[in-house]
Copies of this chain bind each other. A is one copy, B any other.
Amino acid sequence: MNPTRTWIVLLALATDVPARLASAVDPPLLGFTAESSAVQRTLEERFDASVRRSDIRDWVERLSKRPHHVGSPYGKENAEWMAGLFRSWGYDTRIETFDVLFPTPRVRQVEMLAPRPFRAVLAEPALAEDATSGQASEQLPTYNAYSIDGDVTAELVYVNYGVPADYEELEKRGIEVKGKIVIARYGLSWRGIKPKVAAEKGAVGCLIYSDPRDDGYFAGDVYPKGGFRPEAGAQRGSVADMPLYPGDPLTPGVGASSGAERLPREKAQTLTKIPVLPISYADARPLLQALSGPVAPESWRGALPITYHLGPGPARVRVQLAFDWKRVPARDVIAVMRGAEEPEQWVIRGNHHDGWVNGATDPSSGMAALLAEAKALAELTREGWKPRRTVVYAAWDGEEPGLLGSTEWVEEHAKELEARAVAYVNSDSNSRGYLGLDGSHSLQRLMNEIARDVSDPAKGVSAAERLRDRALLGEDEAERRRALAREELRLDALGSGSDYTPFLQHLGIAALNIGFGGEGRYGQYHSIYDSFDHYVRFMDPDFAYGAALAKVGGRSVLRLSQAELLPFEFTALGTAVATYVDELETLANKIRSATETHNAAVERGAFEAVAPPDELRVTPARKEPVPHLNFAPLQNASERLQQAASAYDKALASAGAGAPAAARREANAILLRAERAFTRPAGLDGRPWFRHFVYAPGFYTGYGVKTLPLAREAIEARRWADAEKGIAVTAEVLTAFAGEVERAAAALAPAR
Which of A's residues lie within 8 Å of B, judged by CB?
212, 217-222, 226, 228, 295, 301, 303-307, 432, 456, 458-459, 461, 465-466, 468-470, 472-473, 477, 480-481, 483-484, 519, 590, 593-594, 596-597, 600-601, 604-610, 612-613
Contact = CB atoms under 8 A, between A and B. Distances in A.
A90 B559 CA distance: 94
Contacts of A228: 307
The 4 closest A-B pairs by CB, nearest first: A469-B606, A469-B609, A305-B305, A480-B597
A64 to B, nearest CB: 21
A212 to B, nearest CB: 7
Nearest to A600: B484
Contact of A613 (B217, B468, B519, B594): B519
Contacts of A305: 212, 217, 303-305
Nearest to A480: B597
A480 B593 contact: yes
A608 B459 contact: yes
B606 A473 contact: yes
Contact of A472 (B222, B590, B606, B613): B606
A649 to B, nearest CB: 28
Nearest to A458: B613
A307 B226 contact: yes
Contacts of A470: 606, 609-610
Question: Interface centre among A222, A228, A597, by most B CB within 10 Å?
Answer: A597
A222 B469 CA distance: 45
A610 B432 CA distance: 12
Given A472-B601, A606-B473, A217 B459 contact: no
Contacts of A609: 456, 459, 461, 465-466, 469-470
A171 to B, nearest CB: 15
A558 B217 CA distance: 57
Contacts of A601: 469, 472-473
A117 B600 CA distance: 61
Contacts of A519: 612-613
A361 to B, nearest CB: 15
**Interface hub of A212, A465, A473 (most chain B Cβ within 10 A):** A473
B212 A472 contact: no
A404 B726 CA distance: 68
A612 B613 CA distance: 47
A537 to B, nearest CB: 10
Given A220-B295, A461-B605, A473 B304 contact: no
Contacts of A469: 601, 604-606, 609-610
Given A477-B593, A593-B477, A601-B469, A217 B306 contact: yes
A307 B480 contact: no
Nearest to A431: B613
Contacts of A458: 613
A597 B228 CA distance: 34
A612 B456 CA distance: 13
Nearest to A466: B609
A593 B484 CA distance: 11
Contacts of A484: 596-597, 600
A609 B226 CA distance: 24
Contacts of A596: 484
29 contacts: A212-B305, A217-B305, A217-B307, A218-B307, A219-B307, A222-B307, A303-B303, A304-B305, A459-B608, A459-B609, A461-B609, A465-B609, A466-B609, A468-B606, A469-B601, A469-B609, A472-B597, A472-B600, A472-B601, A472-B606, A473-B606, A477-B593, A477-B594, A480-B597, A481-B597, A483-B597, A484-B597, A484-B600, A519-B613
Contacts of A481: 593, 597
A596 B484 CA distance: 9
Contacts of A221: 295, 307
A610 B466 contact: yes
A37 to B, nearest CB: 26
Contacts of A468: 606
Contacts of A226: 307
A196 to B, nearest CB: 27
A205 B68 CA distance: 55
Contacts of A217: 305-307
Nearest to A589: B477
A458 B612 CA distance: 10
Contacts of A212: 305
A481 B597 CA distance: 8
Interface centre among A473, A600, A609 (most CB of B within 10 A): A609
Nearest to A611: B459
A593 B483 CA distance: 13
A546 to B, nearest CB: 15
A678 to B, nearest CB: 33
B473 A613 contact: no
A251 to B, nearest CB: 43
A458 B605 CA distance: 14
Contacts of A612: 519
A638 to B, nearest CB: 25
A473 B222 contact: no
A481 B220 CA distance: 42
A704 B604 CA distance: 34
Contacts of A306: 217
Contacts of A219: 307
Nearest to A301: B218
A484 B600 CA distance: 7
Contacts of A465: 604, 609
Contacts of A594: 477, 480
A474 to B, nearest CB: 9
A590 B477 contact: yes
Query: Which of A459, A480, A484, A613 is most buried by chain B, counting CB atoms within 10 A of its CB?
Result: A613
A469 to B, nearest CB: 4
Nearest to A308: B218
A226 B292 CA distance: 12
